């Protein structure tokens, strides 16, 4: 058992969470990227499920891919806003959502292109279109993370802003309550 601030951590999951929190303190940006990846992994499952369901309903891989990407993008936005970028400057939900979808559109294009190329060039992916989903997702992940981190979910800098009249640069409350 591990003692932490007067409490005992006994389960393997609790020990893992405790270890991850320690690593987050030492490597904060790496921890943020891991959280982004975990949210993305859950989005892959959503994407696969929706893509498969839509394909069964409409029979069109293109429509199934589009709907899968859109639903997974919305899923990822809400979880990234809550978990990965909870410390980001607060701005209206709709503005962050539009920014997130806009920034992730580049990743979605990479993901879409990868899926279509795999489906058209390899019989395995043509027969099992869901197998192309995680490969496409990984291809677009780096674009998504960098744009989300630098554009959509910015954090305030420690230095004062040069122009205090710039409302968009003013410090704000974080997106979510502290943990």
pLDDT at 31: 86
pLDDT at 164: 45
pLDDT at 161: 47
User: How far is it, in rounded angstroms, from Cα 30 to Cα 52?
Assistant: 32
Residue where the block lists tokens 């959502």 = 97
Residue 5 has pLDDT above 70, yes or no: no
- Provide the terminal-to-terminal Cα distance of the chain, rounded to the nearest Å: 23
pLDDT at 147: 86
pLDDT at 176: 54
What sign does the dihedral 112-155-35-33 (CA atoms) show? Answer: positive
Angle formed at CA 104 by CA 55 and CA 20, multiple of 5 degrees: 100
pLDDT at 177: 53
Which has the higher per-residue pLDDT, 6 or 158?
6
Of the candidates 54, 32, 50, the residue with the CA atom closest to the CA atom of residue 42: 50
Give the helix/strand (H/E) hosting 51: helix 28-58
**Burial zone of 160 (CB within 10 Å; 0-12 exposed, 13-18 middle, 19+ buried):** exposed
Tokens describing residue 167: 């409302």
pLDDT in tens, 75-129: 999 999 998 888 888 888 898 999 998 888 888 898 889 999 999 999 999 999 9
User: How far is it, in rounded angstroms, from Cα 152 to Cα 101?
Assistant: 9
The arithmetic mean of pLDDT across residues 44-61, rounded, is 95
pLDDT at 17: 76
Q: What is the pTM of this model?
A: 0.64
Mean pLDDT over the full length of the chain: 82
pLDDT in tens, 123-175: 999 999 999 988 988 888 878 888 888 888 887 654 444 544 444 444 445 55
């Amino acid at each position: 058992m591990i003692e932490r601030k007067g409490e005992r951590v006994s389960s393997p999951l609790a020990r893992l969470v405790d270890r991850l929190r320690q690593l987050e303190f030492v490597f904060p940006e790496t921890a943020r990227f891991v959280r982004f990846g975990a949210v993305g992994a859950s989005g892959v499952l959503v994407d696969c499920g929706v893509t498969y369901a839509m394909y069964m309903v409409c029979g069109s891989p293109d429509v199934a891919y589009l709907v899968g990407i859109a639903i997974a993008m919305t899923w990822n936005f809400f979880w990234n806003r809550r978990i990965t970028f909870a410390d980001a400057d607060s701005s209206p939900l709709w503005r962050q959502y539009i920014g997130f979808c806009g920034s992730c559109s580049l990743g979605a294009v990479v993901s879409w292109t990868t899926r279509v190329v795999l489906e058209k060039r390899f019989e395995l992916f043509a027969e099992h279109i869901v197998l192309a989903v995680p490969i496409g997702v990984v291809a677009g992940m780096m674009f998504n993370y960098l744009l989300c981190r630098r554009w959509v979910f910015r954090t305030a800098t420690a230095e004062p802003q040069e122009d205090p009249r710039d409302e968009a640069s003013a410090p704000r409350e974080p997106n979510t309550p502290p943990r």
